[in-house]
């Protein structure tokens, strides 16, 4: 049973961990109820965000909070029941978003982000997935001069401290870079060392295929139980049980539920999101991924069409979908990008981002259970941080010094 490992969860994080472990010679079984890359990792904007060194804080300014209250925005929506059921974690999120606390979190979070494209690169090569990744960066569009100038100051800081690269564009420069947009915006930040995937779920599936070529195995199965068994761990499925030395919990927005029976009450919550694919009118295809920053949605040129992804919805994970947020984002997107065509999907996709109050994931050993490892809570950046997580967690499991100080990501920090 030595070095036999099960990784629970086949999103970007779980697949990346499985790939790294298999490369080290471990016998690895990757398990999920869905094929690789079909849950949260399927539905995101497809960006590998090397620039995302500042995690998204909870709004604290009175003006922003008042603007959210009517519940009609594209960037954030909520339900009263969803807010109530996650009241404790959300209050902690608000506290961690205070300026001094957020400033302390930024360099810790950035230590992972700084390795993001570097760690995706060997996985892209191993998967033969170069055609799925574009490396021209992306555009963060601002409609107002004040918004652009404030973000430009943050960009300068990110460049000096964390090696982010960018170009500041005025309105005319933005028009040259992306001529399909209307002429209203004040300009944009072009983040030049970030990457984008034209098929996020396909990229995860390609990484999973590379994992299998390393000798790893994938089993599509509904996990029914996780418990101590013999000298290690027992994972029960509808098809049977497996006993292994190590188990990695990379179940994304479901991880917190799975750990409660083992006595872990981590303050997990979710931010839901939606996407829809569209055609392009008269061949007016977008050339870049772009964020309409002051409204709060992403437009992404993907294989399936122009993908529009919404901001955050603070709602129960399994609650029915609410169409209003996507409709609001679509209306704004048509004003910014008149070439946005007809909907291509029969229904909007809905998913949930796995979040923790201090905006950092949990990566490392379970505090009270040898052989149990955690890797979840990546918020908006699981797609970006999967390969980094795979590397550092594997180094920890192999008894090596990780590439990053992992103290800020310990499970017992709460």
- pLDDT, tens digit, for every residue of 302-326? 999 999 999 999 999 999 999 999 9
Place of tokens 């918020």: 379
Task: Assess if residue 394 is contained within a domain.
Answer: yes
- pLDDT, tens digit, for every residue of 356-368? 999 999 999 999 9
- The answer to whether 232 touches 243, Cβ cutoff 8 Å, is yes
**H/E element, 142:** strand 138-142
On the question of pLDDT at 1 being above 80, the answer is no
**H/E element, 298:** strand 297-302
Q: What is the pTM of this model?
A: 0.97
Rounded to 5 degrees, what are φ and ψ at 281?
Answer: -70, 135
On the question of pLDDT at 21 being above 90, the answer is yes
Closest CA to 194 of 355, 87, 3, 51: 51
Whole-number Cα distances in Å, 280 to 188, 261, 301, 371: 22, 49, 10, 50
Residues near 87 by beta carbon (within 8 Å), at least 6 away in sequence? none
Task: Assess if residue 220 is contained within a domain.
Answer: yes
Chain centre distance of CA 380: 4
- pLDDT, tens digit, for every residue of 68-82? 999 999 999 999 999
On the question of pLDDT at 65 being above 90, the answer is no
Whole-number Cα distances in Å, 136 to 329, 353, 406: 25, 26, 31
Task: Assess if residue 192 is contained within a domain.
Answer: no
Whole-number Cα distances in Å, 276 to 43, 47, 297, 330, 380: 9, 16, 12, 9, 18
Closest CA to 181 of 140, 151, 136, 134: 140
Closest CA to 375 of 388, 359, 361: 361
Task: Assess if residue 374 is contained within a domain.
Answer: yes
Kindly report which listed range (1-5, 275-279, 396-400) carries the lowest average pLDDT score.
1-5
Beta bridge mates, 225: 236
Task: Assess if residue 108 is contained within a domain.
Answer: yes
Which structural domain, as residue segments, surrounds residue 411? 1-57+97-133+198-268+356-414
The CATH number assigned to the domain holding 247 equals 3.50.50.60
What single-letter DSSP state applies at residue 98? S
**d(C-alpha 304, C-alpha 382), whole Å:** 21
**Mean pLDDT computed over 223-230:** 90
- Assign 3 a pLDDT band (cuts: 50, 70, 90): confident
**Mean pLDDT computed over 98-111:** 98
Chain centre distance of CA 49: 10
**d(C-alpha 385, C-alpha 109), whole Å:** 10
Question: In this structure, how many other beta carbons lie within 10 angstroms of the beta carbon of residue 198?
Answer: 18
Task: Assess if residue 222 is contained within a domain.
Answer: yes
Task: Assess if residue 346 is contained within a domain.
Answer: no
Percent of the chain with pLDDT over 90: 96
Task: Assess if residue 301 is contained within a domain.
Answer: no
46: alpha, beta or left? (left if phi > 0; alpha if psi -120 to 50): left
**d(C-alpha 301, C-alpha 278), whole Å:** 10
- The answer to whether 237 touches 336, Cβ cutoff 8 Å, is no
- The answer to whether 289 touches 324, Cβ cutoff 8 Å, is no
Number of structural domains, the chain?
1
The pLDDT assigned to 2 comes to 52
**For all residues of the chain together, what is the average pLDDT?**
96
């Amino acid at each position: 049973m030595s070095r036999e490992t099960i990784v629970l969860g086949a999103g970007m994080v779980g697949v990346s961990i499985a790939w790294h472990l298999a490369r080290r010679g471990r016998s690895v079984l990757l398990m999920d109820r869905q094929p690789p890359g079909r849950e949260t990792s399927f539905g995101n904007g497809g960006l590998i965000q090397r620039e995302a060194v500042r995690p998204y804080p909870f709004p604290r300014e009175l003006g922003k909070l008042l603007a959210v209250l009517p519940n009609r925005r594209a960037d954030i929506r909520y339900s009263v029941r969803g807010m109530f059921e996650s009241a404790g974690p959300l209050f902690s999120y608000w506290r961690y978003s205070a300026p001094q606390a957020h400033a302390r979190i930024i360099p810790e979070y950035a230590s992972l982000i700084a390795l993001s494209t570097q760690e995706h690169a060997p996985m892209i090569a191993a998967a033969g997935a170069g055609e799925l990744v574009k490396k021209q960066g992306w555009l963060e569009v601002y409609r107002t001069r004040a918004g652009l100038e404030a973000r430009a100051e943050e960009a300068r800081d990110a460049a000096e401290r964390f090696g982010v690269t960018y170009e500041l564009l005025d309105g005319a420069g933005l028009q040259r870079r992306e001529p399909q947009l209307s002429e209203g915006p004040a300009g944009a930040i072009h983040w030049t060392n970030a990457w984008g995937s034209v098929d996020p779920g396909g990229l995860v599936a390609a990484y999973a295929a590379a994992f299998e070529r390393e000798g790893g195995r994938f089993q599509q199965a509904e996990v029914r139980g996780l418990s101590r068994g013999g000298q290690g761990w027992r994972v029960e499925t509808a098809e049977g049980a497996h006993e292994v030395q190590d188990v990695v919990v990379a179940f994304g927005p479901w991880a917190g539920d799975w750990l409660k029976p083992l006595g872990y009450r981590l303050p997990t919550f979710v931010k839901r999101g939606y996407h829809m694919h569209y055609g392009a009118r008269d061949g007016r295809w977008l050339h870049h991924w772009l964020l309409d920053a002051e409204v709060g949605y992403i437009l992404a040129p993907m294989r399936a069409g122009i993908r529009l992804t919404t901001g955050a919805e603070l709602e129960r994970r399994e609650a029915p979908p609410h169409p209003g947020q996507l409709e609001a984002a679509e209306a704004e997107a048509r004003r910014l990008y008149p070439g946005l065509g007809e909907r291509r999907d029969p229904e909007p996709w809905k998913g949930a981002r796995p979040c923790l109050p201090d905006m950092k994931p949990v990566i490392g050993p379970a505090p009270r259970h040898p052989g149990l490892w955690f890797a979840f809570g990546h918020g908006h950046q699981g797609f970006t941080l999967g390969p980094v997580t795979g590397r550092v967690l594997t180094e920890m499991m192999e008894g090596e010094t990780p590439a990053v100080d992992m103290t800020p990501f310990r499970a017992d920090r709460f």
